[in-house]
Each structure stands twice: as C-alpha cells, then as structure tokens.
Amino acid sequence: MLDKLFNILAIPFNWLSRWDLIGRIIGGLFFTYWIYYRFGYLHSYSMPLLWYLENTQFLLFIIAYITRLKAVDRAVGFWQTIYPLGTAMLPFALSPYSFKPAPVTQPQLQSLCVLLLIIGLSIQIVGVFYLRRSFSIMTEARELVTKGIYRFMRHPMYIGSFFGALGIGLYRFSFFNMFIFLTFVLCQSYRASREELKLIKNFPAYNQYRKRVWWF
C-alpha cells in the first residue's frame, strides 16, 4: 500500500526521467545556481581550496548533465527517483547556510576535518570526471564505466561523499549531525545496492566486474 502511494508521488519525477532534455536543463540550472549562491560564502572559508574543490565538483556536474547519454533504462517509481534525490540532499543538513545555522563545535579538529573534506572532494571530482556521460542522480543505466578510479572502487562518488560528510559532521559535531551522517551512509549504501541491480540487468558484464572490484 505504501509503495503504491510513494509511486504516485513519484509520477512527476518519472516524467522528468522520461524527458531527458528537461532533466538535463533542470539539473544544469540547479548546479549553476548553486555555484552562484556559494560565491557569497567564499570569504567564510579559512582554506579557499575547499571552496574551489567543492565548486569544481559542481561544475563537473553541470558538464555531465549537458553531455550525458540517454538512459537505456530510466528511473521509475519512488525508490528510483525521489529516494536517491532525497538521499543526495542529506549532507546539506550538516552544512552552515543562511537558512540553517550550524555552529563550529570542534575547532581543534579543523585540520583533520579539512583533510577529510579534501580527500572526499578529490575522490568525487575524479569519480564524476570518469563517469561523465553516465552521470545520474536518479537510478538510471546509461553506460558501463569500469576505467580510471572505477577500476579500484565501484562507487567512488559515494565513498567521497562519506569522507566529506564525516569532515563536516565532526567539525560541527552534535548528536543530530552524527545521526544525519549515519543515516546518510545507510541510505547511500541501500541506494548503491539498487543501482547495482539495474546495472546487472542492463550490463551482464557488471556482475563479473562487481566480483573483482571492492564495493567502495
């Protein structure tokens, strides 16, 4: 019963997946606006490198949206549309934005947290660079990617986001932020398992790939 209700809520997103050009435009515009919005926060970064790494990632997202291939198996239903979109947004609950202040509680951990952020963002940047035309936030199959960083880990975008979210969560430590972080890890892990089912269905070679390459 709940699945039927959730799938009804997902109908607009089903159409967004079907009309790929509209999805590309919306995705590209969203991340373009997000880069513009974040210019106002450059002055608040004690290490500007982090700001540039974050926005390099968003710039690559824009390029990926513009150039990506048409899905051979598009996203349908709540678990393939709304769920991955909502999961991808969870780390924003950890960050300090004008609509949600988040005080620094562990300044003594700044160096460790910055290191975690640099590692995480670097992994994500390399991941999206190799993913490029297969990039998607919703659960879709476009083209099998096994080269570059994907030779060593199946989900570099996710492991990179784990490092980054952990860095933010520790720097702005609270039990709520740790709850958000753990929820994010669990949700991303489940999201990855559903993506893998779709990849196995559309690309038989993926099953052998996943047997020889580490999950992360």
Q: How far is CA 94 from CA 11, 165, 172, 179, 184, in A?
A: 29, 7, 8, 10, 11
Fold of 2-212: Four Helix Bundle (Hemerythrin (Met), subunit A) (1.20.120)
b or e along 120-138 (b: 16 or more beta carbons within 10 Å of the residue's beta carbon)? Answer: bbbbbbbbbeebbebbbbb
Enumerate the H helices of the chain as residue ranges: 2-9, 11-18, 20-38, 48-67, 82-89, 110-131, 156-171, 175-202, 205-212
pLDDT of residue 104: 66
**Mean pLDDT estimate for the chain:** 86
Angle, CA 101 vertex, CA 100 and CA 105 arms, to 5°: 135
| Entry pTM | 0.86
pLDDT tens per residue, range 21-51: 888 888 889 899 988 888 877 777 777 888 8
